Amino acid sequence: MTDCELLSVDYLLSCAAEEDPAEKARGIALEQTVELPGRAISPAVRERVVGRVDPPRPLGGGRWTVRIDYPLAAIGGELTQLLNLLFGNVSLKDGIRLQGVRWPASLLRELGGPGHGIAGLRRLTAAEGRPLLCTALKPMGSSVAELAEHAYHFALGGIDLIKDDHGLANQPDAPFQARLQACAAAVARANAETGGNSLYLPHVTAGYAELPRRLEAAREVGCRAVLLNPWVTGLDAMRWARDQYGLAIMAHPALTGSYFRSEHGLSPELMLGDLFRLAGADAVIYPNVGGRFGFDAATCAAINDRLRRPLGGLAPAFPTPGGGMDVARAGHWVERYGNDTILLIGGSLYARGDLTAASRALRAAIEPGA
Amino acid sequence: MTDCELLSVDYLLSCAAEEDPAEKARGIALEQTVELPGRAISPAVRERVVGRVDPPRPLGGGRWTVRIDYPLAAIGGELTQLLNLLFGNVSLKDGIRLQGVRWPASLLRELGGPGHGIAGLRRLTAAEGRPLLCTALKPMGSSVAELAEHAYHFALGGIDLIKDDHGLANQPDAPFQARLQACAAAVARANAETGGNSLYLPHVTAGYAELPRRLEAAREVGCRAVLLNPWVTGLDAMRWARDQYGLAIMAHPALTGSYFRSEHGLSPELMLGDLFRLAGADAVIYPNVGGRFGFDAATCAAINDRLRRPLGGLAPAFPTPGGGMDVARAGHWVERYGNDTILLIGGSLYARGDLTAASRALRAAIEPGA
């Protein structure tokens, strides 16, 4: 077995006084593969299946870093088993945090990554040389007509990506099918008036049987992109949607927050950067520093890097910081994050009342030379 | 809107010194529905959509308990949006733990619960008046022939439910289809010899497109039950599998552990008890107290209660404690947990070498009057 067929995982271990980090690391390698004590398995199985554990290196304060190399044969080429190998059972244990993974080329090819990526989303919106703008149709409880009216005004004002709020599903106030048709038509009408290329992204998250119907319906009305909560549908459903429908996908981080502890879980850049990108997200929403959620500046920078960095043949994906971002600070974020960013600004546009004027002001603030 | 159309959620809030618990609770209600500040929404939307927040009650040490009543209209009858409403965005916030939910009758009817339940699994295994026994085929890295040989000996020894280890997917050492056929045949052969009713539960977790193929294949070879990781496939995939294939489902908790913090996430009994049962699990595996994972005795008792308690018209489901349980202590667990329990014992049987003899000893230990 050659080196390129290994999945190298870097862990941060937090050890209690009586815990031996090397034993803890060996325990992880066994737990995530054979689920038996080391003494109960044959040398052949150990050699072929159990991860190879490097000696842990101390970071001080009971914290250690350790690398485990798993044979790719333990995954069998499936995203579901990859998730299970990475964090299935150890999610139930304490003091284990996955910091990062060195992805083998064959696994990257198998998973495939974004179907459109940054370049593809730029083509769809005809937006070059500047960041893209995204906003959300809200609030839940609004009628279809109200949401479509918002969509129209945002498109008129030049917002590139107009998505449903991720809480809009198929509630009686604005059922999916009616909302889809009205909002797609509203954005098309605005585009016809302005000559613009705004996209409406319906939120398609739904149960197993319903998901394909929503994706199909979105394609039928001419949508080119959708919003999806991959941790709600199962991560592989996003990959399947990418292959089946050809729609660009913006991924939302709903339900993922519990994995992001400093001493437990997965690093946000591994989950929202690597895993979401590998599974086909063209853009990934994350809670920006200084907003109403808690990521720090370094985490945001790390997510941006993981989404955009060269990674096998995978297309780069758009970081989409959001969550309490302000129109007035848009220029600051562009300067900080660069052009290959989607700025997701919702409430701050609504607070200005006139959505078209607010959108135009935002667009002006991020145009080159503005 | 009548009371029975409300979804009442009990939260445990952990507040920093400067945090106002009432404001934090109102923030949750807004975040999980309209995603706008309270001042930005109309009284009509607030009344119809935003949760109604009870006054928080102090528990001491900066901890508070608070109930929020969400209108069912915020869900629209979908399990995916239920998950999002319960914990989508607040998973990204600190100091919020969902303790429990009062389930409205209409939602219970909509979600449906176990297709077989405790009584159904007893019928399938012809096991009455005693707990059921479950074990796992392992380790990953074994050949199909080796796993089938294990399955045969476990069935010969009277283990009721013989499941794949949840890390067995479609790896080259024991590909799904070959393993399925060999293990199903091995268990059928043992049943023919003993007149017993052991079931083989193949592990069917797979990607979106592959999952139905594995379920179909399982049904085709005559399996009556399967093992599934619902947090890997997406929770609604389990419900769909229940409706589509009629197979009994044992659910595994892979990936769920990160939600189980004392001050954040969901209580294990809400996730593994209520949610897994509502979504169709007939049996739910959880890490038993004293094993190699960390649940305490009260949590195990609470999960058992949530799986078995009367709940609308839903069938009760089997608690399946596992994770380092010992043959020698089987009688203790039966006494403690009662007959309506599945004991999942893996490594401890393997450690005894002769799987048939070990299984018979275990079976004898839990037979009534033993």
Instruction: Report pLDDT digits (tens) over B251-275.
Output: 999 999 999 999 999 999 999 999 9
Q: Give the mean pLDDT of chain A.
A: 94
CA distance A192 to chain B (A): 30
Per-residue pLDDT for A292 more than 60?
yes
Residue of B74, B170, B346 with shortest CB distance to A76:
B170
Give pLDDT tens digits for A230-254: 999 999 999 999 999 999 999 999 9
Contacts of B345 in chain A (CB under 8 A): none
Q: Which of A242, A8, A216 is nearest to A112 (CA)?
A: A242
**pLDDT tens-digit series, residues B39-83:** 888 888 888 888 899 999 999 999 999 999 999 999 999 999 999
Is B36 in CB contact (< 8 Å) with chain A? yes
Taking CA atoms, what residue in A is nearest to B261? A258
Number of H helices, E strands in chain B: 16, 14
Q: Does B44 touch chain A (CB under 8 A)?
A: yes
Q: Residue for token digits 């080796």?
A: B146
Per residue in A15-41, pLDDT (tens digit) is 998 999 999 999 999 989 998 888 888
The answer, for A41 touching chain B at a CB cutoff of 8 Å, is yes
Region B26-46: mean pLDDT is 88
Q: pLDDT tens across A77-124, in order?
A: 999 999 999 999 999 999 999 999 999 999 999 999 999 999 999 999
Instruction: Kindly tell me if the per-residue pLDDT of A2 is higher than 60.
Output: no
Nearest CA in chain A to B93: A293
The pLDDT tens digits for A55-74 are 999 999 999 999 999 999 99
Whether residues B257 and A90 touch (CB distance < 8 A) is answered with yes
Q: For residues A293 and A259, which has the higher predicted lDDT (pLDDT)? A: A259
pLDDT tens-place string over residues B152-164? 999 999 999 999 9
CB of B253 within 8 Å of a chain A CB? The answer is yes
> Mind telling me how many Å the CA of B208 is from chain A's nearest CA?
5
Q: In this complex, do B265 and A258 lie within 8 Å of one another by their Cβ atoms?
A: yes
Q: What is the DSSP letter of B349?
A: H
**B208 shares contact with chain A (CB less than 8 Å):** yes
pTM (global) more than 0.95: yes
Q: How high is the pLDDT of residue A4?
A: 46
Closest CA to B25 of B90, B100, B103: B90
B2 has a pLDDT exceeding 60: no
Q: Do A80 and B207 touch (CB under 8 A)?
A: yes
**Nearest CB neighbour to A91, from listed B84, B85, B258:** B258
Rg (CA), chain A: 22
Give the pLDDT band of residue A369 (cuts 50, 70, 90).
Answer: low
What pLDDT is recorded for position A294?
A: 72
pLDDT digits (tens, 9 = 90+) for B296-311: 999 999 999 999 999 9
Which residue has 């990934």 as its token pair?
Answer: A284
Contacts of B35 in chain A (CB under 8 A): 136, 138-140, 165, 167, 346-347
Nearest beta carbon to residue B91 from set A50, A255, A264? A255
* Residue B49 in contact with partner chain A when CB distance is under 8 A: yes
Q: Count of A–B CB contacts within 8 Å?
A: 271
Contact B205 A79 (CB under 8 A): no
Q: Which of B186, B132, B131 is nearest to B161 (CA)?
A: B132
Residue A155 has pLDDT above 80, yes or no: yes
User: What is the DSSP pairing of strand A96-102 with strand A132-137?
Assistant: unpaired
Sheet bearing B225-228, strands edge to edge: B225-228, B248-251, B283-287, B318-322
Residues of A (288-327) whose Cβ lies below 8 Å from B: 292-294
Give B-chain residues touching A167 at CB under 8 angstroms: 32-35, 74, 81, 84-85, 88
- Quote the pLDDT of residue B154: 98
Main-chain dihedrals φ then ψ at residue A132, nearest 5 degrees: -95, 155
Is some CB atom of chain A closer than 8 A to the CB atom of B257?
yes
Please determine, for residue B293, whether its predicted confidence score (pLDDT) is greater than 80. Answer: no
Contacts of B84 in chain A (CB under 8 A): 166-167, 169, 205, 229, 232, 254-255
- Residues in chain B with CB shorter than 8 Å from the CB of A249 are none
Q: Residue B73: its chain A contacts at CB < 8 A? A: 171-173
What are the DSSP calls for A266-296, one per residue?
E-HIIIIIIIHHHTT-SEEEEE-TTSSS---
Q: How far apart are CA A214 and CA B145, in angstroms?
A: 43
The C-alpha atoms of residue B53 and residue B67 are separated, in whole angstroms, by 6
- When computed from its CA atoms, the radius of gyration of chain B, rounded to whole angstroms, is 22
- Write the burial class of residue B313 (CB in 10 Å: 0-12 exposed, 13-18 middle, 19+ buried): exposed
**Max alpha carbon distance in chain B (Å)?**
72
Q: What pLDDT, in 10s, does the model give residues B81-120?
A: 999 999 999 999 999 999 999 999 999 999 999 999 999 9
Check A256 against B92: CB less than 8 A apart: yes
CB contact under 8 A, A78 and B36: no
Q: Does the CB of B6 have a partner CB in chain A at under 8 Å?
A: no
Nearest CA in chain A to B259: A258
Closest in A169, A171, A237 to B208, CB measured: A237
**Cβ–Cβ under 8 Å, residues B160 and B133:** yes
* β A199-201/A161-164 pair status: parallel
Is any Cβ of chain B less than 8 angstroms from the Cβ of A328? no
Question: Quick check: B347 and A234 CB within 8 A?
Answer: no
B136 neighbourhood in chain A, CB within 8 Å: 35
User: Residue B134: which of B99, B180, B170, B165 has the closest Cα?
Assistant: B165
Give the model confidence (pLDDT) of A175-217 as tens digits: 999 999 999 999 999 999 999 999 999 999 999 999 999 999 9
d(CA A239, CA A254): 17
Q: What is the mean pLDDT of residues B163-185?
A: 97
Q: Is B157 on the interface with A (CB under 8 A)?
A: no
* Mean of the per-residue pLDDT values of chain B: 94
CB contact, 8 Å: B272 with chain A?
no
pLDDT at A287: 95
Q: Is A1 on the interface with B (CB under 8 A)?
A: no
Residue B232 confidence (pLDDT): 98
> How large is the ipTM?
0.96
* Confidence class for position B5, pLDDT limits 50, 70, 90: confident
Say what the pLDDT of residue B1 is. Answer: 37
